Amino acid sequence: METILLAEDELVLGKLVKEALERKTYKVLWAKDGQEAFELYRQHQPDLCILDVMMPTVNGFVLAGKIRGLSETVPLLFLTARSETNDVVKGFEVGGNDYLKKPFSLEELFLRIRELLRRRQQDAGSDKKPEQDVYAIGTYEFNRISQVLRCDKESFTLTHKETALLTALITHKNSLLPRRDTLLELWGDDSFFRARTMDVYIAKLRKYLKHDEKLSIVNIRGFGYKLIDEH
């Protein structure tokens, strides 16, 4: 039986979602504020987390960051009543995998949960090589665990998604990083919105790497990106 952490302070909605998930044979841990949710996560290590953005004590974004400090792989699904693009982007920046805007249908929620759990099982069973913790790239040092990119002139603390994208670029250094595959792996789909979001992250990474003229991120139009290291 898979365990789901539900962090939702709206009592009626929380009870409805909890009971619906239990009918689908999931075990549900329901927390009514962010601090309680984090304690439940630490105690039980659930298979998936559903996080409301606006919660007392600790909001969903902060909670996601705390959970990501303990696990890089547990799927995080945000519930939000807010429709601003910046809030959606912020959710992905702190390590979210997907989001649903309120009001939502239970069937859509079930679908998102099944897909997130399926992808996690695929990743767990894959034969991908484990990633390094620290990379040397040109005149930079990149620590994937602390999410810090450092050179002699400056140091940057990256977001979760920036870290994941830079890691992918480095592991494909001087070769093509396929756009669609990366979108599916990091964002869960290859929609136009996700593609534009990835473009924003690429622009940020280019700024971080500007102190080394022999490093560049090239857009291979229609195919993906390539991190060029001329050292």
Phi first, then psi, for residue 210 (nearest 5°) are: -65, -20
**pLDDT confidence of residue 96:** 84
Residue 120 exposure: Cα atoms within 13 Å on the Cβ side? 18
Phi first, then psi, for residue 176 (nearest 5°) are: -70, 130
Task: Identify which of 185, 181, 164 has the alpha carbon closest to the alpha carbon of residue 116.
Answer: 185
Confidence bin at 231 (pLDDT 50/70/90): confident
- Map out the domains of the chain with their CATH numbers: 3-125 (3.40.50.2300), 134-229 (1.10.10.10)
Inform me whether the pLDDT recorded for 36 exceeds 90.
Answer: yes
Is the pTM higher than 0.75?
no
**pLDDT confidence of residue 34:** 95
Inform me whether the pLDDT recorded for 89 exceeds 80.
Answer: no
Over range 164-182, report the average pLDDT: 90
> Is there a contact between 174 and 227 (Cβ–Cβ < 8 Å)?
yes
Q: How far is CA 210 from the centre of its chain?
A: 25
